[in-house]
Structure 1
Amino acid sequence: MGPVNQDIALDQMEALLDQERQLLQEGRAREAAALSGQKLEALGGVQALMESGILSGGDAALRAQVARISKRAQENTILLEAVRNGINSLLIRMSQSAAGVHVGSYGHKGAQLTFTQATGGYLKRV
Structure 2
Amino acid sequence: MQANVIEDAIGTLETVLVHERELLMRGQARETAALVGEKMSALQVFDDVVLNRAATGLQDGHRRRVEAIIALAKENAEHFKAVRNGVRNAIDRIGARTENAYVGAYNATGGQTPFRNATGGYLKKV
- Partner SS state of residue 67, structure 1: helix
Aligned length: 114
Q: Which residue of 1 aligns with 2:67?
A: 67
Equivalent runs, 1:53-64 vs 2, <5 Å: 53=53, 57-64=57-64
RMSD of Structure 2 on Structure 1 (CA): 2.5
Letter paired with 1:73: A
| TM-score (normalised: structure 1) | 0.78
- Partner SS state of residue 65, structure 1: helix
Distance 2:86 2:38 in 1: 25
Letter paired with 2:78: I
Q: Which residue of 2 aligns with 1:16?
A: 16
Distance 1:79 1:119 in 2: 49
Distance 2:55 2:21 in 1: 24
Per the TM alignment, residue 83 of structure 1 is displaced from its structure 2 partner at its CA by 0.9
CA contact (8 A) 1:24 1:79 kept: yes
Letter paired with 2:37: G
Identical-pair percentage: 30
Q: Which residue of 2 aligns with 1:109?
A: none
Per the TM alignment, residue 58 of structure 1 is displaced from its structure 2 partner at its CA by 5.0
Q: Which residue of 1 aligns with 2:35?
A: 35
Letter paired with 2:42: A
- Check 1:11–1:99 CA distance in 2 against 1; reply closer, same or farther (3 A cut): same
Distance 2:65 2:39 in 1: 16
- Check 1:115–1:37 CA distance in 2 against 1; reply closer, same or farther (3 A cut): closer
Distance 1:40 1:103 in 2: 49
Q: What are the superposed Cα offsets for residues 22-56 of structure 1, whole Å, 9 maximum, x if unpaired?
A: 01101111111210110000001111112212586
Q: Which residue of 1 aligns with 2:45?
A: 45
- Check 1:58–1:16 CA distance in 2 against 1; reply closer, same or farther (3 A cut): closer
- Check 1:66–1:119 CA distance in 2 against 1; reply closer, same or farther (3 A cut): farther
